[in-house]
């Protein structure tokens, strides 16, 4: 029985990173080029930072999820977790694949709310799981700032919004 639980935990840890890799191939393939041409708000990191940060965040997300679901099979925890993970992936599709930048901005705010809710729920079940989500919560807050800043600085640029065939 211990082996099965270990395998389930490993799957829970790697699932977000596998999903992130898939989304990266599907939606974010031109992201660096796209990111370079935009006017960026203050404190925007260089594009090379994102592929370093996200795998770490995905692993900590998966580890936190494994910790709370190994202790409890609470459907509310699963609902919060999978909602934020789905919104996380959806943001890249909206922002990079379809250039629906304002939709991505609204979605980013909703995502941040679900990350806050997930973090609070995880803390209530297992404190270490909540702590594991804190970097993701901070990054999501920062990413929302970047999304809002990028939209305000670039919203009238056709290459940013994808209008006029770009």
Q: Output the six-digit token pair for 161.
A: 């919004």
Bigger pLDDT: 163 or 156?
156
What is the rounded end-to-end Cα distance, in angstroms, of the chain? 55
Tell me the per-residue pLDDT of 98-154, one tens digit each, with 9 for 90 and over.
989 999 999 999 999 999 999 999 999 999 999 999 999 999 999 999 999 999 999
34: pLDDT strictly greater than 80? no
Distance of CA 26 to the CA centre of its chain: 15
Residue 165 has what pLDDT? 40
């Amino acid at each position: 029985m211990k082996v099965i639980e270990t395998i389930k935990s490993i799957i829970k840890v790697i699932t977000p990173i596998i999903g992130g890799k898939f989304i990266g191939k599907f939606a974010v393939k031109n992201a660096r080029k796209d990111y370079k041409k935009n006017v960026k708000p203050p404190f925007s990191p260089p594009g090379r930072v994102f592929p370093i940060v996200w795998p770490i965040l995905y692993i900590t997300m998966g580890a936190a999820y494994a910790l709370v679901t190994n202790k409890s099979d609470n459907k509310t925890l699963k609902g919060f977790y999978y909602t934020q993970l789905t919104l996380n992936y959806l943001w890249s599709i909206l922002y990079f694949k379809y250039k629906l930048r304002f939709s991505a901005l609204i979605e980013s705010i909703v995502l941040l709310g679900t990350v806050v809710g997930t973090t609070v729920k995880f803390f209530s079940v297992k404190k270490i799981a909540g702590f594991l989500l804190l970097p993701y919560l901070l990054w999501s807050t920062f990413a929302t700032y970047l999304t809002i800043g990028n939209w305000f600085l670039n919203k009238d640029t056709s290459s940013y919004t994808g209008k006029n065939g770009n």
